[in-house]
Structure 1
Amino acid sequence: MRLTVIGTGYLGATHAACMAELGHDVLGVDIDPDKIASLRSGRLPFYEPGLQELLDRHIATGRLRFTTSYEEAAAFARVHFSCVGTPQSRGSDAADLTYVDAVIDALAPHLTGPALVVGKSTVPVGTADRLAARLAALAPAGAGAELAWNPEFLREGFAVRDTLRPDRLVLGVRSDRAEALLREVYAPVLATGIPLITADFPTAELVKTAANAFLATKISFINAMAEVCEATGADVSVLATAIGHDERIGARFLRAGVGFGGGCLPKDIRAFAARAEELGTGRSLAFLKEVDAVNLRRRDRVVDLTRRLCAGDPAGARVAVLGAAFKPDSDDIRDSPALDIAVRLHLDGADVTVYDPQAMDNARKTHPLLGYALSAEEAVVDADVVLHLTEWREFRDLDPAALASRVRARRIVDGRGALDADRWMAAGWDFHALGRPARSSAGTAVRAE
């Protein structure tokens, strides 16, 4: 099939390349000429494992091209995926739908024949109904220009796999024609037995927001338990293991740490709660405000713990921060807990040095006053405290004995609960992890006064 993908950011560029991998002819569309020029030359504006290879392959095959012209897009295909962002609005928790609306306004006047516009963005429930009416009103094809909603479920670091081998496909459709077209688009995926759920527009919209809300709640739940563990001397890692064996709960996403960040979960749960208020059902999602608050408090906890490890005053202390991206296998620093903590310690007067395997350029652009190193080994030189804040495999594989000779004081805070405490303590480190009793190299409990 011929498809267009409108918006070539993280979601759009990934979807375009993956649709080409499925065998379709794809035209990527964006109003940013610099971004289009970069993609045409085979340069991705972000890091995502496996995506560069797909981009290179399908630019070479001719299945993947890019343009800034909506007129060209309308003439090229009858199925158009809208993959633009829905950031948090300035001054409120609601989603900003400016870019979603702009796609309809720019594309619809060029749709002179039957067409299907497929929304993939995360939007407040009720958006699709409104856009469908706007599309039909603006398109010369009238009712022949239909809308469908096909929410994305990409995880950064796994986006290619999640597109080509998703755990489910959700189609919000209003006609057999729309469903048939989308079944044709995803035929290679459906042939592998992937579950397909067809739904009305409101349900399709709610699937993504509900999934994100549930995930955020599970993460904040174990972090709330970490707060209780810290007050009682219990160990949240053992607690998580025990409750994770309950098949009603499950073990995934029960690792206590500095919490979630990125461009999705924080703004999506806030937008969901804001939409519930608009619908008069605010009490139903009031708990999401506490989910958000618990998440942000874990950053406070790392900052406070670091201050105490620096005898109450980090001014002049050297702090090594391992991680800048909000999660591993990504260079995305949006709402990154690691950088938030690094900046706050810098403002306290600490000499902060950051290292991340992929996010260094992005971090430097947004936070030029922080120090940066070319490796973890360089970052920890003369450090008084080392903070592990992004769970890269590279950091889990570090040799604590080798690092011990580089630091000024052997103190590490595992903000992700991912390091082997016994291994670090055997190398002489005082080990601190959120929700777990701090332990010295001698195996005894220690206090960060």
Structure 2
Amino acid sequence: MTVRIVVIGVGYLGITHAACMAELGHEVLGVDVDEAKIEQLREGTVPLYEPGLSRMLRRHLAEGRLRFTTSYADAAEFGDVHFLCVGTPQRDGSDSADLSFVEAAVHALAAELTGPALVVGKCTVPVGTAARLARTVRRSAPGADLAWNPEFLREGRAVDDTLKPDRLVFGAESRAALDLLHAVYSLPIAAGTPVISTNFATAELVKAAANAFLATKVSFINAMAEICEATGADVVELARALGYDGRIGHRYLRPGLGFGGGCLPKDIRAFRARAQELGAHRTLEFLREVDAINLRRRHRLVRLAAEQCGGLGGRRVAVLGASFKPESDDVRDSPALYVAAAVQGEGAQVTVYDPKAIANARRHSPGLRYAGSARAAAAGADLVLHLTEWKEFQEIDPAELSPVVGMRAIVDGRNALDPLRWRAAGWTYRALGRP
């Protein structure tokens, strides 16, 4: 069944969702108030890097299945289902989520709706938001309904996560809303994707709880790295041993520089802030330490770099990585750029290379130097810092890099390189949580 779908907000989530809905066979209209971005997308240019996304978007534009507009009136006339994919950033001066973009989008759309329609939230919001927005929609557009369908995208794998999700969560109050959502996702459901139909609050909490659990798992192994550094134990071997326990598992139990990006840090802070608003302030207090452990890893990496060099003042340092994770050009709250700036603040001359994120890194951190290759970044370096685990960096031959550096010394901030291989090539190899 083909459904006419509107995607409101064409940032990272919205562009991906719009293109993937077209891939699932629906007619899709993307909406945003940013005229420059809409024009860019109409021309087939995606303003971000996500594997497979550009090709898919251009194909559906050419076939006429996907279009973009700045008009909410056109969206209201066109769509049967309207997905809210706008941002929910951290509010200035607070840990709470800023819902102004969500509320503005709902009000703008509801004012134009004249017949039956389903508004579906996908963005991460504090629990209780959907119920309030449902009242707004029904008051402004009596024929409309609201549901919540949280996203679980991983940057770098977002296309597959949309087309082949590991689960679908539908928060709805009517059978008609659930039926429409089943029609939208009929292909993934037919392929065996589990569906959890629940109420608004549970649907909102699924995403918040998933992020909190993931952040806790990452910070747990990084806390163990601190213990390993104090005892001479090896955190990589510890993580490997823990991962064989079926109750724990290997996934995301990788010690290193910690998490970043535009979602996970601000989402766990907003979750804790919402618990405080609900009077359950002690319940999620552990997330404060999860956040603190994560940030401590960045400071520890800077100290490890200084230890390796006998001080950073006047040193030349090559930084491999700028994006917060591989297969993405996203530099929001990037641990790599944080460390690069901190090392430069200690008096080092820093040169950064990243396979995809250089343009965004230049805008975010214009005071750093940038290079067009790992080899160019490492030229004359007293120290190399590996801070984003791109496959390209893992495949570097240390023997080939040796002639261009000033000193053969590397700090692996992601525990993703082979220490035996680097040491065999005459390099001094150091890493977080390893002797």
Q: TM-score, normalised by structure 1?
A: 0.96
Q: Which residue of 2 aligns with 1:187?
A: 186
3-state SS of paired residue (1:285): coil
What displacement does 1:322 show? 0.1
1:135 maps to 2:137 = yes
CA distance in 1, matches of 2:278, 2:365: 39
CA distance in 2, matches of 1:380, 1:308: 19
What displacement does 1:31 show? 0.3
- In structure 2, list runs of 5 or more residues that go unmatched: none
Q: Which residue of 2 aligns with 1:257?
A: 256
What displacement does 1:308 show? 1.7
CA distance in 1, matches of 2:209, 2:321: 29
3-state SS of paired residue (2:352): strand
1:223 maps to 2:225 = no
Q: Which residue of 1 aligns with 2:204?
A: 205
Q: Which residue of 1 aligns with 2:287?
A: 288
Cα RMSD, aligned residues only: 0.6
1:233 maps to 2:235 = no
1:409 maps to 2:407 = yes
Q: Which residue of 2 aligns with 1:346?
A: 344
**One-letter amino acid of the structure 1 residue matched with residue 225 of structure 2:** A
Q: Which residue of 1 aligns with 2:145?
A: 146
What displacement does 1:352 show? 0.1
Q: Percent identity?
A: 66
CA distance in 1, matches of 2:112, 2:185: 25
**One-letter amino acid of the structure 1 residue matched with residue 47 of structure 2:** P
- In structure 1, list runs of 5 or more residues that go unmatched: 438-449
3-state SS of paired residue (2:282): helix
CA distance in 2, matches of 1:350, 1:412: 15
Matches within 5 A, 1:405-444: 405-437=403-435
Matches within 5 A, 1:30-49: 30-49=32-51
**One-letter amino acid of the structure 2 residue matched with residue 280 of structure 1:** G
3-state SS of paired residue (2:230): helix
What displacement does 1:103 show? 0.9
Q: Which residue of 2 aligns with 1:160?
A: 159
3-state SS of paired residue (1:178): helix
3-state SS of paired residue (2:111): helix
Matches within 5 A, 1:101-116: 101-116=103-118
Contact 2:262–2:332, Cα closer than 8 Å, also in 1 = yes
Q: Which residue of 1 aligns with 2:278?
A: 279
CA distance in 1, matches of 2:345, 2:303: 13
Q: Which residue of 2 aligns with 1:444?
A: none
CA distance in 2, matches of 1:230, 1:267: 28
Q: Choose from 59, 62, 71 the match for 1:60.
A: 62
For residues 48-89 of structure 1, give each alpha carbon's deviation from its aligned partner in whole angstroms, at most 9, with x where no partner exists. Answer: 000011111100110000000000000001210010010000
3-state SS of paired residue (1:146): strand
**One-letter amino acid of the structure 1 residue matched with residue 370 of structure 2:** Y
3-state SS of paired residue (1:405): helix
**One-letter amino acid of the structure 2 residue matched with residue 258 of structure 1:** L
**One-letter amino acid of the structure 1 residue matched with residue 272 of structure 2:** A
1:246 maps to 2:248 = no
Q: TM-score, normalised by structure 2?
A: 0.99
CA distance in 1, matches of 2:371, 2:106: 45
Q: Which residue of 2 aligns with 1:306?
A: 305
Structure 1 stretches of 4+ with a deviation exceeding 2 A read none
CA distance in 2, matches of 1:25, 1:99: 25
Q: Which residue of 2 aligns with 1:173?
A: 172
Q: Choose from 320, 323, 337 the match for 1:322.
A: 320
What displacement does 1:316 show? 1.1
**One-letter amino acid of the structure 1 residue matched with residue 188 of structure 2:** V
What displacement does 1:309 show? 1.8
3-state SS of paired residue (1:284): coil
**One-letter amino acid of the structure 2 residue matched with residue 13 of structure 1:** I
CA distance in 1, matches of 2:49, 2:323: 11
What displacement does 1:310 show? 2.2
